Each structure stands twice: as structure tokens, then as C-alpha cells.
Amino acid sequence: MSSNLYTKENTQELAQLKNLAPEQLKAFNEFNVAVFKEGALSKKEKEIIAVAITHVTQCPYCIDAHTKAAKKAGATLEELAEAVFVTAAVEAGGTVTHSTHVHNAKNQEASDALYLRSNLKNLGQLGKFAPDGFKGYLAFSRAATKAGKLSAKFKETIAVAIANAIQCPYCIDVHTKNADKQGVTSEELGEAIMVASAVRAGGSYAHMANMIQSYQD
């Protein structure tokens, strides 16, 4: 096995899946084709979302494949950079919003229900105890989601996909509401979420190349 765990050549091992798990491979490929076909979102938009999600899964194979696919579909590097900054902002937001549970854990009268919208009122505590960092986070989040090369509407579509990928209920709630205000349709959100689902599956699929190599060592 190569000393470099991540080289493009590693993906050649995936050809073995035709013999190792043919039925599952066929279903996986059909899943991807269905998800990435033109619909409420264009091929370009779906590939931009995919690039954003690959930075959630941190799969270098997927980053490479979907960046190339996005470029082929007409996405610019500026658009991709803005999309990935949405990823960074939503992931930061997931950490910040979950800090409400720190407050709840210290509060003997806190509700046993871990995920309530009302928990978000406790974010003021984080702003109180880490004011500079919290102010910096808010400014970053605003900068990442405002209109630029990508529209604010599309950035909120991306944000909803990311929120589902990181499985943050607060982020899903906030960004779905923001997307609705921007005029994003349910069909657009549904397709964006399915892109997130396919890309998360793709991360596991691509890393089977390393599994096969390790097994053969």
C-alpha cells in the first residue's frame, strides 16, 4: 500500500467493487444518477452544493471529483470558494448553537428535552462569557451567507443541505426559515438535501479504496 493514503491512483481499487458487491454498486450508481440529474436545481447548482458537502465529509477523493464536475458544469472558483465558506459558517454555527446544552447542563431546572427552539435563547450566555469570539462568529456568519458571486437565496439552499449533513437541528430550523424567506421552494430544498445524502454516501464509497488496499497488504 502507498505510504500516501490519499492519491488519485487509489480510486482504481474501486473497480473491484463490480465483483465484491455488484448489486450494491449498481444501486449506488443509480442513486447518484437520480440525485444529480437536472430538476428544480440545475446540474451546476447541484455540483456546487456537492463541493460544499465534500468539505463536511472531508473526503479528498470527493472534493477532487465534485470540484472537477462543478467546473465542467460551469461553476467558477469564486463560486466554489463562497459555497465552502457557507460550509465553514454553518459548521461553526452548529458548534455555537449546541453550546446551549452547556448552559442547560449547569441549570438544574433545565428541560430534559435536549432539542427545543427555546434552548437558543441561551446563546446570550455564550455572548456574555466569550463576547469577542461570539461577535466574531456573528460577523463571519453574516459575511459567509450574504449575496456575492452566489445569491443569498442559493447560499441558504446550500446552508440547509449542510445543516442536514451535520445533523444540527438548530441549524436546520434556522436555515430552513431563512431559505423560506428568500423564496427557496420545497422542491429545491428537497433536491439539495438529496445531494447532501448522496455525497455523504459517496465519502464512504470512495474510502472503500483504502479498505481494499489495506486488506490486500
Domain that residue 130 falls in: 20-216
Is 13 a member of any domain?
no
What angle is formed at CA 29 by the lines to CA 176 and CA 216, rounded to 5 degrees? Answer: 115
Is 11 a member of any domain?
no
Is 25 a member of any domain?
yes
Is 170 a member of any domain?
yes
Mark 92-118 as b/e (b = at least 16 C-beta within 10 Å): ebbebbbbbeebbeeeeebeeeeeeee
Is 84 a member of any domain?
yes
- Under 8 Å between Cβ of 33 and 180: no
Is 8 a member of any domain?
no
pLDDT at residue 119 in the model = 64
Count of domains forming the chain: 1
pLDDT at residue 1 in the model = 44
pLDDT at residue 110 in the model = 52
pLDDT at residue 109 in the model = 55
Is 36 a member of any domain?
yes
Is 102 a member of any domain?
yes
pLDDT 10s digit of each residue in the chain, 217 long? 455 778 888 899 999 999 999 999 999 999 999 999 999 999 999 999 999 999 999 999 999 999 999 999 999 999 999 999 999 999 999 988 877 776 666 665 555 555 566 666 666 677 677 889 989 999 999 999 999 999 999 999 999 999 999 999 999 999 999 999 999 999 999 999 999 999 999 999 999 999 999 999 8
